Structures are given as structure tokens and as C-alpha cells.
């Protein structure tokens, strides 16, 4: 058995590493095409990807990379293509790609200081910078996460345990859920991300513990409706342990009135969490006042793999009082013994639901250092401007219907055939158009529902995309819609 060329252990390993990385870079660049996707179907991909996963004898790294290039990269979504506009899936910034290469090669694990000395300290510095960015107090703390799904879960975990400890003197970490947990409720807007319901399920509260509040005409949580909901829950004997505000809903990009939500949460002694996974980036721009109230949050989720343009996955969970993490703390003799805490050794395992954890903080750190706040803010501004100009383009077109004015960078609309047809048929047509576009690969758009109407959605995260690129996407929709209608796939 020989390990030559498989590890970074000697000159031979270093040469193999340089060669493999260069080959991988070439494979990524060579796989890029004029279209954002090849159009391959699941069945076609399954047929292509039929090589043995674990052969008895390996084919060699060069051959394996070539196989991946032809079978995987060639059929991957090009997230840097200007007509990729379906989801909150950004084009990764090159500093982030460089950071990804470095953090993978060094393989630091952020659970204990002795596994990641500099990484542990640097993550703390990045967390402090983020707390400053969102005007959180000096006692704020945080941890990097895989994204808002994890961040929102941790927020509700801390909120649940705080509520039960303070209101019924119960230690969930030690004793599990008490009977009083049946009355716990978390309040969100009706357009909040589904991860709140998911977290309630995982936390043993059940999805029925999530109470949705209606939104206003701008799709923001209605503050009056929130007040009425909280009063009703009080009368019913329910304990509202958390109010969750959203700074950038997935479909509308709506930002809840965070100050009003903070007032309501304080009045009812509820934890105030803000899911700013999408809209938190406004803190870098001249529109930071739209986040007014975020500084009052007990906790905050922010994602860097959206409008901060970093590779997946990369998020952060911040708390206004770092002492809140004590409700997650535990020690393991081999990892973070109590003696370390007494000496001030920063082991981060007690802040995360993960044990082994990647050095993802390096990605925004390198990007922030390389690009700077002003230029990064300008890139975000470019996407906001493109969304506004796209909405104007759609509003002026006689074969498209703009369904909502953009708040961030999502634009909701639908194709409207010139020949009148029932709304149900129009919805079917738009659904078929979206599927046909994916199969064609010319442009990638998303599908969602707006007030019972099937909508198309452009999620514009690419600061290099232009209005001409959007116009090409709209022309592709027109062409595909004509084909769908001509084929009789939709009944008028």
C-alpha cells in the first residue's frame, strides 16, 4: 500500500496537490457554457452517473476528475451565469472561493481551540465585527452556522429554554420538556420561512405551536394583527416564548416592522429573533435604516451564501447577550474540560449544535478584507437596482403581469397570453413554462404562489447581470410559452 501523492506530507504530496487543484480549476472553468443548465433530466443523470462509486481499484485522480467534469460539472447549475435567477443561490465571489480552498486544505475544526487555534480567534473577531455592523451591544456573541435553518433552530432552542427556566423554573437540558411546554407558542408572519415550523417540530413543541400573523399590503407582518394575536394567546393561557421577525422574506423580500415587533415582544416578555438571512446585507448599504429595530433583537440569523456572495454553506447566529449560550453548554473531558474554561481557553463547541465544524468564517473575512465595505455595498446596490428596473420592464410589457413591487431582489410576475384565458389556465401555463425552461436550460426562474396564483419569480443575486440579461430571460419565457400553447399542453 502506498500513500504517495495522496496527502500533504512531503514534496511529492505538495506537487500532487498543486496539480490536482489546477486540474480541478480547469474542469470548473471548462464546464461553463452559454446556458445556465444543460437541461438534463433526473433519469438522464441517473443513466450517466452509473460508474462504480467504490471500485475495487481506483482509476486515478486525473481520470476521476475528468469523469466528474463530464458527468457532474457539465450538468451542474452555473450559479455565476447572468440568467440563473431562480433561488437564493448566489454567484460565489472569488475571494470566497479562495478561502474555501484554504479552509478545506487546512481542515480546521472549530469545536476546540487545539484543533483550530487561529481559526477560533478569527471567528470571534468576525462575530464581533458582525455585532458592530448590526449595532448589537458589547455583550453580544455568536457562532458560525450552516445557514438560517440552523440559526433559527438555535434561536428557538435558547428562547424555549429561557422561557421554561424563568416562568416555571424548569431545566430542559437536564429534565426534558415539562407539561407546561404544551402551552408554548412562537409567533411569526404568514410569510415567514418554514424553518420556524421545522424548528418547533424538532424542539418537541409541534408545528401547531407556531402561530402565523397576517401581513399587510406590503407583505410585512401587520403590527396591529400581532398585538391582537398576542392578546388572544394571553387570554387562552398560552405562553408566547418568541416573536420572530423576518428581514427579507423568501418570495417578496419583505422586511417586517422590526421596531414594532421588538416593542410587542418586550411587552409580553418574549424572546425577539430576527431572521435576516436574506435582508441583513442591507446593513452594508445606504438602505440600512430599513433594518431599524434589528439592534433590539435577542438573536439574529444572517446568511453569507445569499447577498454576501459567499460559497455555500455560510451563516452566522448572533445573540445580544453572550450569556444566553450557557443554556447549550456542556463539557467533554477530551474536548473542552472545565479547566479550559477556568483558564479562558476559547472552545466554541458550547455555542453550536454541531461538534465538528468548518472554518466558514474565513470566507466572509477574506472577502471583507479584499473587497471592503464600500465596494461590497455597491455590489448589493446593483442587485437592488436591477430588481427595480426589471419590475419597471415587466410593468410596461403587455404580455407580463407584475404581481408585487420588489422590496429586495426578488421579482414576482407571470406570463399573460394576449388571448384571454381563465386564471386557472394562466397558472397552469406559467407552471408549464417554468418546467420547460428548466428542461431547455436557457434560463432558470423559480415558481411560487401569490394569493393562489402561480407566479414566476426572478431572484436577482448577480451584480454582473444586466437588464439585457433579464430581457433575454423574458424573451425565453415568451418563446417557451408559445411552444407550450402550440403543443396544446394547457387547456384554455
Average pLDDT of the residues of the chain: 96
Give the separation between CA 133 and CA 140, rounded to whole angstroms.
Answer: 12
At 334, is the pLDDT very low, low, confident or very high (cuts 50, 70, 90)?
Answer: confident
Residue 491 clears pLDDT 70, i.e. is over it: no
Q: How many CA atoms are closer than 13 Å to the CA of 9, on its beta-carbon side?
A: 6
At 10, is the pLDDT very low, low, confident or very high (cuts 50, 70, 90)?
Answer: confident
Give the separation between CA 416 and CA 81, rounded to whole angstroms.
Answer: 26
pLDDT of res. 359: 98
- What would the mean pLDDT of 165-179 be, rounded to a whole number? 95
- What would the mean pLDDT of 62-66 be, rounded to a whole number? 97
Residue 338 clears pLDDT 80, i.e. is over it: no
Burial label for 198, CB within 10 Å (0-12, 13-18, 19+), is: middle
On the question of a cis peptide bond just before residue 22, with omega within 30 degrees of 0, the verdict is no
Q: Encode pLDDT of 186-216 as tens digits.
A: 999 999 999 999 999 999 999 999 999 999 9
Q: 312-345 b/e with 16+ CB inside 10 Å = b?
A: bbbbbbbbbebebbebbeeeeeebbeeebeeeee
- What would the mean pLDDT of 221-239 be, rounded to a whole number? 98
Give the separation between CA 240 and CA 250, rounded to whole angstroms.
Answer: 24
Q: Encode pLDDT of 398-422 as tens digits.
A: 999 999 999 999 999 999 987 888 8
Residue 57 clears pLDDT 90, i.e. is over it: yes
pLDDT of res. 343: 86
The cell for 164 is 421554561
Sign of the torsion angle spanned by Cα atoms 338, 341, 347, 350: positive
Residue 342 clears pLDDT 90, i.e. is over it: no
At 344, is the pLDDT very low, low, confident or very high (cuts 50, 70, 90)?
Answer: confident
Question: How many angstroms separate the Cα of 298 from the Cα of each of 150, 165, 209, 279, 319?
Answer: 16, 16, 20, 17, 6
- What would the mean pLDDT of 142-166 be, rounded to a whole number? 98
Task: Compute how many other C-beta atoms are within 10 angstroms of the C-beta atom of residue 356.
Answer: 10
The cell for 165 is 427556566
Domains defined for the chain, CATH in brackets: 1-75 (1.20.1650), 101-371 (3.40.640.10), 374-486 (3.90.1150.10)
Is the pTM here over 0.85, yes or no? yes
Give the separation between CA 407 and CA 338, rounded to whole angstroms.
Answer: 48
Give bridge partners of residue 302 from the DSSP assignment.
Answer: 316
Nearest to 204 by CA among 167, 168, 175: 175
> Could you tell me the strand order of the sheet in which 84-85 lies?
84-85, 444-450, 453-459, 410-415, 400-404
Return the beta strands (E) in 57-108 as ranges.
Answer: 84-85
Q: Encode pLDDT of 361-377 as tens digits.
A: 999 999 999 999 999 99
pLDDT of res. 455: 97
Amino acid at each position: 500500500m502506498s500513500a504517495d501523492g495522496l496527502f500533504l506530507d512531503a514534496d511529492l504530496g505538495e506537487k500532487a496537490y498543486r496539480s490536482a487543484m489546477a486540474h480541478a480549476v480547469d474542469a470548473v472553468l471548462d464546464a461553463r457554457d452559454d446556458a445556465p443548465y444543460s437541461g438534463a433530466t433526473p433519469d438522464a443523470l441517473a443513466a450517466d452517473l452509473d460508474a462504480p462509486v467504490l471500485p475495487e481499484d481506483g482509476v486515478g485522480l486525473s481520470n476521476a476528475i475528468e469523469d466528474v467534469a463530464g458527468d457532474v460539472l457539465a450538468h451542474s447549475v452555473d450559479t455565476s451565469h447572468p440568467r440563473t435567477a431562480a433561488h437564493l443561490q448566489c454567484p460565489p465571489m472569488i475571494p470566497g472561493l479562495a478561502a474555501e480552498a484554504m479552509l478545506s486544505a487546512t481542515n480546521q475544526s472549530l469545536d476546540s481551540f487545539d484543533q483550530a487555534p487561529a481559526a477560533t480567534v478569527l471567528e470571534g473577531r468576525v462575530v464581533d465585527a458582525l455585532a458592530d455592523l448590526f449595532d448589537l451591544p458589547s455583550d453580544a456573541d455568536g457562532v458560525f452556522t450552516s445557514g438560517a435553518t440552523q440559526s433559527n433552530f438555535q434561536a428557538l432552542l435558547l428562547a424555549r429554554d429561557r422561557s421554561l427556566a424563568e416562568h416555571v423554573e424548569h431545566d430542559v437540558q437536564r429534565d426534558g420538556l415539562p407539561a407546561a411546554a404544551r402551552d408554548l407558542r412562537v409567533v411569526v408572519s404568514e410569510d415567514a420561512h418554514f424553518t420556524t415550523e421545522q424548528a418547533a417540530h424538532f424542539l418537541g413543541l409541534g408545528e401547531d405551536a407556531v402561530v402565523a400573523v397576517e401581513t399587510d399590503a406590503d407583505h410585512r407582518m401587520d403590527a396591529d394583527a400581532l398585538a391582537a394575536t398576542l392578546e388572544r394567546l394571553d387570554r387562552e393561557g398560552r405562553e408566547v416564548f418568541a416573536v420572530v421577525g423576518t428581514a427579507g422574506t423568501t418570495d417578496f423580500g419583505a422586511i417586517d416592522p422590526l421596531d414594532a415587533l421588538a416593542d410587542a415582544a418586550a411587552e409580553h416578555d418574549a424572546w425577539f429573533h430576527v431572521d435576516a438571512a436574506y435582508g441583513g446585507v442591507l446593513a452594508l448599504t445606504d438602505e440600512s435604516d430599513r433594518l431599524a429595530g434589528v439592534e433590539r433583537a435577542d438573536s439574529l440569523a444572517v446568511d453569507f451564501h445569499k447577498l454576501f456572495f459567499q460559497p455555500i454553506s455560510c451563516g452566522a447566529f448572533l445573540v445580544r447577550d453572550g450569556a444566553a449560550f450557557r443554556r447549550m453548554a456542556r463539557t467533554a473531558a477530551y474536548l473542552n474540560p472545565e479547566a479550559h474554561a477556568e483558564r479562558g481557553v476559547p472552545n466554541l463547541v458550547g455555542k453550536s449544535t454541531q461538534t465538528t465544524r468548518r472554518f466558514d468564517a474565513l470566507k466572509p473575512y477574506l472577502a471583507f478584507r479584499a473587497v471592503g465595505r464600500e465596494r461590497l455595498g455597491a455590489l448589493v446596490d446593483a442587485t437592488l437596482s436591477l430588481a427595480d428596473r426589471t419590475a419597471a420592464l415587466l410593468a410596461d410589457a403587455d404580455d407580463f403581469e407584475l404581481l408585487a413591487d420588489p422590496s429586495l431582489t426578488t421579482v414576482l410576475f407571470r406570463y399573460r397570453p394576449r388571448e384571454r384565458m381563465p386564471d386557472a389556465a394562466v397558472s397552469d401555463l406559467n407552471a408549464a413554462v417554468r418546467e420547460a425552461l428548466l428542461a431547455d436550460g436557457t434560463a432558470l426562474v423559480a415558481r411560487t404562489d401569490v394569493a393562489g396564483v402561480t407566479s414566476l419569480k426572478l431572484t436577482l443575486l448577480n451584480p454582473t447581470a444586466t437588464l439585457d440579461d433579464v430581457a433575454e430571460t423574458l424573451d425565453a419565457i415568451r418563446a417557451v410559452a408559445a411552444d407550450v400553447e402550440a403543443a396544446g399542453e394547457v387547456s384554455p
